[in-house]
Amino acid sequence: MTATTSTGTTRRPRREQLLTPDQLELVRATRGFMPDDEGEALHRAAVLAARSALGPLLEVGTYCGKSALYLGFGAGPAGATVFSVDHHRGSEENQAGWEHHDASLVDAETGRMDTLPLARRALERAGLESTVVLVVGPSTVVAAAWAAPLALLFIDGGHGSDVAWDDYRAWVPKVAPGGMLAIHDVFPDPADGGRPPYEIFCAALRSGDFVEAPELSCGSLRVLRSARLSRRGAAPSRAGPGR
């Protein structure tokens, strides 16, 4: 298996197939932006996190539920719970006039994005309603009231600078010692994608609280392990990129 550096590109290694054909079919039928190989890597991380019994798993950014299925199928067999947090009004890049806008997700009555019905249907079809709990609200508002240590935190919410950094600062301190942090859309080369996910990934490494787990990473999905020995570790720096 090929390792990567914190600034190099990640090869897409061949993975042991952990999802059943029926599960993979359900995931592929759900709207979202995660390629199969990255989703299978997320599923593998979820399996390991669930077996660790360090706490629940949590993702920031549900959208229509695609990544929630990967997480739920991984966590379910060990009896772990996945919380999926989203306001379901769409990130900046999902709004009208942006590249990833889907007009079919706009509520005709309010004129606003509403992905919650699709996420609920995806979980129902997959039989995961008792494993994946949808938490509807702004990420930072939910984080302010959250106390449970997390076995796995998956950040894949808005990719704008302010939103990505707010998610990082609000949620990363809640990763349990020995837990995992996964970040999607991490592109070292600016030509491949936006910078904020890469910047928060680098910030996690610089903090000394996390080490990369290249054996679990794939493509733009980067997985890190907590190196903290206690919950008394310092909170993430409030300095933005380059500060």
Beta bridge partners of 85: 60, 135
159 is catalytic: yes
In 3D space, the residue among 89, 217, 66 whose CA is nearest the CA of residue 156 turns out to be 66
Taking each helix axis as running N to C, give the angle between helix 116-126 and helix 66-75, from 0 to 180 degrees, rounded to the nearest 10.
Answer: 30
Catalytic residue among 43, 87, 88, 159: 159
The C-alpha atoms of residue 236 and residue 239 are separated, in whole angstroms, by: 9
The C-alpha atoms of residue 218 and residue 199 are separated, in whole angstroms, by: 18
**Secondary structure (3-state) at 149:** coil
Cβ–Cβ under 8 Å, residues 46 and 57: yes
Q: Which residues are catalytic?
A: 159
